Amino acid sequence: MPSILDRDRTVAPPGYNRWLIPPAALAVHLSIGQVYAFSVFKNPLVDHFDTSLTPIGVIFSIAIVMLGLSAAFGGTWVERNGPRKAMFVSMLCWVSGFLVGALGIATDQLWLVYLGYGVIGGIGLGIGYISPVSTLIKWFPDRPGLATGLAIMGFGGGALIASPLSTSLLSRYAVNPANGLVQTWLTLAVLYAVVMSLGAWVVRVPPEGWAPEGYVPATESQGMRTTANVTAASAIKTQQFWLLWVILFCNVTAGIGILEQASPMIQDFFPDVDAKAAAGFVGLLSLCNMAGRFIWSSTSDIIGRRPIYAIYLGVGAVLYLVLALAGTSSVALFVITAGAILSFYGGGFATVPAYLKDMFGGLQVGAIHGRLLTAWSAAGIAGPLVVNRIADAQTGAGKSGADLYALSLRIMVGVLIVGFIANALVRPVDPRWHEPAAPDDDPAAQAAAAKAA
Amino acid sequence: MSNPEETPMTKRSSAFEPSAAAAIALWVIVVAGLVYGISQTVVKVAALFN
């Protein structure tokens, strides 16, 4: 039965302004970006369930693992069904996650919170994250880095909104935040249902053969940018996909190592920094993470994807070395260096869809991106594990302060160098993986095909 | 005479066309959200430099 959610019901009429598309993507990413503000609920949940931090931390871990898995396995479905249906399904899962989670809190059933926020909400995260990517790339073939940077910036910005909003709601509903959890989660569910539904309603795909005015698509591959297309099934068999997987893994591992430990780290480096100032440092890193997504990804449209990743990884390695060798010399140096590292972390996330488009074409870039996000799940485990385990071991060895991080910072330098080498090894995809030159939904390819015909 | 650019597909989608105002309203919502989040964060960041 035809539905208004179907891809062919979302085709934009001629003359549709492409700048009406980014708010749809931002609406979804700003909503699901709430997951990075989950820590706001940690202590109230510990109080409510009368448990320790570890079982509560599992909720977030399940959500992130489900994000990677659903993006990997749902990517092809998203490509086939279009952005509106994907955004709608994402909204249903994300909102249901809050509702089921709230039921779990209300009935003191922690497993229901795992199922709701973790599993069901996590599926919403994965589907929502990839839902606007290929659509934006098709609307902005001339500036794919800017377009995906704008959307993925929303994922970083979601926590900036959700964190103060959730704190405010918790204190508004109850004196003890643990007693305001259910109402807060229900309120967030309603808010996200409205905003994400608006995004799904507004989103449009470009008509077949559409290209922005004045845009002349390349008719043959130029350097790293191909005009051919590779399917998701073929892409994962190429060396390039796995090199990009390693690049994303290394970049995320290094960034998340600081992000996850930011507050205790600055207090260990500088004993004069109190908890309030440390919270300011965490906020500053969030801003750098968000800004880097837009600024660096847009810059990649000008200087190219491989050079920008050489900066993320090469300069990032140097900055980590500065932290390791001179991080204790001044708070300003520490803050500026960590801020730059986090901007590269965000930039790495936002630029990768455009890198994939360059390498594999626009045909199934969303599905390929989904598969690549398994690197994020793996890095989400590896990064904190390295930093926390080493810090624990150093504490056991009687060390303290900045010495707790000396080894892990050097390990991160090595991780980034591995990523830098992987980036240097990236070459154009072998033509044997290219799809036959049949019409597809990539405007550049279609325009080229039309011209050739 | 029918518009050669108007295919059945675009005709059908036109029936569900949201006004540009809806998309502009969404722009306003997301920008307002970002301004709220950034301003709240900047207040926290200020504590780092005090």
Nearest CA in chain A to B28: A23
**pLDDT at position A299, please?**
95
CA A392 to mean position of chain CA atoms = 28
Pairwise CA distance, residues A139 & A328, whole Å? 47
- Does residue B4 have a pLDDT over 60? no
HEC string of chain A equals: CCCCCCHHHCECCCCCCHHHCHHHHHHHHHHHHHHHHCHHHHHHHHHHHCCCHHHHHHHHHHHHHHHHHHHHHHHHHHHHHHHHHHHHHHHHHHHHHHHHHHHHHHCCCHHHHHHHHHHHHHHHHHHHHHCCHHHHHHHCCCCHHHHHHHHHHHHHHHHHHHHHHHHHHHHHHCCCHHHHHHHHHHHHHHHHHHHHHHHHHHCCECCCCCCCCCCCCCCCCECCECCCCCCHHHHCCCHHHHHHHHHHHHHHHHHHHHHHHHHHHHHHHCCCCCHHHHHHHHHHHHHHHHHHHHHHHHHHHHHCHHHHHHHHHHHHHHHHHHHHHHCCCCHHHHHHHHHHHHHHHHHHHHHHHHHHHHHHCCCCHHHHHHHHCHHHHHHHHHHHHHHHHHHHHHHHCCCCCCHHHHHHHHHHHHHHHHHHHHHHCCCCCCHHHCCCCCCCCCHHHHHHHHHHC
3 state DSSP class of B29? helix
Residue B1 domain-assigned? no
Per-window interface: A 164-193 vs B, CB < 8 A: 164-165
Pairwise CA distance, residues A440 & A437, whole Å? 9
> A6 CB contacts (<8 Å, ≥6 apart)?
A81, A82, A84, A85
Token readout for A413 is 């330098």
**pLDDT at position A221, please?**
66
Option in A8, A201, A287 nearest B22 (CB):
A201
Token look-up 């208004």 returns A4
Which residues in chain A are closer than 8 Å to B9, comparing Cβ atoms? 8, 11, 207
- Which of A275, A196, A287, A446 is closest to B34 using CA atoms? A287
CA A217 to mean position of chain CA atoms = 28
Token look-up 């991780």 returns A415
Tens digits of residue pLDDT in A146-180: 998 988 898 888 888 998 899 899 999 998 988 99
Q: For residue A57, what are the CA distances in angstroms to A9, A46, A64, A114, A359?
A: 41, 10, 11, 10, 37
- Residue contact B26–A27, C-beta within 8 A: yes
- Does residue B19 have a pLDDT over 70? no
Which residue range(s) make up the domain with B38? 20-50
Write the burial class of residue A131 (CB in 10 Å: 0-12 exposed, 13-18 middle, 19+ buried). Answer: buried
Option in B10, B23, B30 nearest A13 (CB):
B10
- Give how many domains chain B has, as a whole number: 1
A205: β partners: A11
- Does residue B15 have a pLDDT over 50? no
Q: Where are the CATH 1.20.1250.20 domain residues in chain A?
A: 18-206, 221-453
**pLDDT at position A1, please?**
53
- Which of A219, A257, A277 is closest to A407 using CA atoms? A257
CB-CB contact of A32 with A125 (8 Å) = yes
Q: Return phi, psi of residue A157, to 5°.
A: -75, -25
CB-CB contact of A251 with A316 (8 Å) = yes
**pLDDT at position A30, please?**
95
Tens digits of residue pLDDT in A353-411: 999 999 998 888 889 999 999 998 888 778 777 777 787 788 888 888 888 888 888 99
Residue B8 domain-assigned? no
Q: How many CA atoms lie within 13 A of A373 on its CB side?
A: 28
CB pairs under 8 A between A and B: 109
- Domain A221-453, classified CATH 3.90.1300.10, yes or no: no
**pLDDT at position A256, please?**
82
Which residues in chain B are closer than 8 Å to A10, comparing Cβ atoms? 13
Residue B50 domain-assigned? yes
Residue B2 domain-assigned? no
Q: What count of other Cβ atoms lies within 10 Å of the Cβ of residue A279? A: 17
Domain spanning A18-206, CATH class:
mainly alpha
The amino acid sitting at A427 is R
Q: Return phi, psi of residue B14, to 5°.
A: -65, -30
Q: Return phi, psi of residue B16, to 5°.
A: -110, 20
Option in B13, B22, B37 nearest A157 (CB):
B37
Residue B30 domain-assigned? yes
CB-CB contact of A297 with A145 (8 Å) = yes
Instruction: Extract the residue ranges of chain A whose pLDDT is less than 70.
Output: 1-2, 219-221, 437-453
**pLDDT at position B1, please?**
38
> Mind telling me how many Å the CA of A235 is from chain B's nearest CA?
31
Token readout for A52 is 């320790």
**pLDDT at position A85, please?**
95
Token readout for A99 is 């509702």
CB-CB contact of A186 with A98 (8 Å) = yes
Which residues in chain B are closer than 8 Å to A157, comparing Cβ atoms? 33-34, 37-38
Option in B9, B26, B46 nearest A24 (CB):
B26
Pairwise CA distance, residues A182 & A179, whole Å? 7
Confirm or reject contact between A7 and chain B (CB < 8 A). no
- Does residue B17 have a pLDDT over 60? no
